[in-house]
Chains A and B, each alone.
Chain A
Amino acid sequence: MRGKLAFAGIVALGLAELALGAFAATTDVGPEYRAYYIDRTTGCLPREVPGTYALGTTVEPQSGKPRRAFDDILVCGFENSIPEGTWLRGIEGRLRFTLDDGAPGDLVLRLDASARVTPSFRQQLTVFANGQPVGIVTFDDKDPHQVEFLIRASARAAASGRLDIALRMQRLPHVEPTGKDSRLHSLLVGSIWLGPAD
């Protein structure tokens, strides 16, 4: 009798564990969490940043340089810095610039960057400003290049001083992995500059 009671208790414990496991396997998370952590459909986990930036200054995301300037504008998509800059993990990265009312009309975004390319794959970068495409650049080789994008005043007219920049790569190249994370790398950014168009 005692043995049967103990057995019933063990069965009850097992059932309770199954119920708890089933409950724990469900999720109640936001879309951004789901896309980044669970579905892995994006490498961009957005975070709130002030976007503090003085027009005409160069932001250098290299390790060893002051982190504050880049952290203030980095919304998502970039890895921890290395001496050469910061890698875009996946195919999308976002930056935010908060501009005061005195900012001039047309602006230029200038990037020093190099892309992950292979002999059979040329990488393409498309830049969006507040959701509007402002330019496409093709990288033919692995060398660093300075690329510029003209951002018309109209692109930020409706955003009341906020300029959200999205960098989108065509796709991840198929490369032999040489280290941790390297399969996810697409673009290495060495510096960022935003200023008035000449």
Chain B
Amino acid sequence: MLKTLNQKLSLFLILFASGYLYLTYNLKEYPYVPVDSDFVPKVLGYVLIVLAVFLYFDKSSETKEEKEKRTIPKKEILVLLAVGAMIFLYIFLLELLGFVLSSMLFVFGCSLFLGYRNHKVNVIVSVIFPLVMYLSFNYLLQIKLPQGILPF
């Protein structure tokens, strides 16, 4: 039943739209307007289901180019996940350590992990870039980035 990629995507979209519609039908009613806040979401939910059905029966097969784009070696998936985890960790540490320190760690660590071997340049960039960003945001643009444990 779920042979093609389109059919799998379609099923997922129908589930998503159903969940969305379920929430829509549980929205609070507001009696004093002719068109309530659930009108547009309801239309969208049903439109998505109709489109997903179209996608299910869409026979156009993937082009070679599209298929190639979709095949990722296992090792690369791990690399992508690792970078995702690093960004996650960065967000987590941002307000604890402050922008400067966490960015230094991230730029140096992420570049190193992705195979950047010029350590001298890496250290220089990962120290100067966050400092310049921090100072220009804080003092030129008046946007206070998280200070963290540093005194300035």
Chains A and B come from one and the same complex: no
